Amino acid sequence: MSISTDRPRELARFYAELLGVEVADEEGPREGEPPEAGWAQLRPAEGRLRMTVNLEWDPSFEAPTWPSTPGTQQPQAHLDLWVDDLDQAEAWAVELGARRHGVQPQDGVRVMLDPHGHPFCFFTS
């Protein structure tokens, strides 16, 4: 999975902390790019993450609008994260820089926005 942003290494640190994994690899900007450019990668960790997440620099990044609205940047993907306790998961994410979305469509799901505006969801079984 790839997530575009204008500050990929910063957002990788957020998701690494949120998911309890480490940033496995990262690279700074190429010649002529701003200091916040580059990329980072989170890789599977025993019992923690079962996929690779790449965070990639996009010089034209605009935070997506969710729920989708015509004429605005549409979300391309979002993470659904299973948790034991929604309130505890939300508090942890907020402490790391996320915020609760104003739209909460159903019980057992908590829609959040990461520090760069990408939606992600916590859910319980």
User: 86-96 and 8-19 helices cross at what angle (nearest 10)?
Assistant: 150
Structure tokens at 5: 């942003």
CA-based nearest residue to 101, from 67, 125, 63: 67
- Taking only the tens place, the pLDDT of each residue in 14-72 is 999 999 899 999 999 999 999 999 999 998 777 766 778 899 999 988 888 888 878 87
CB 100 within 8 A of CB 112: yes
CA atoms of 106 and 91, how far apart (whole Å): 19
Q: Is the pTM of this model over 0.85?
A: yes
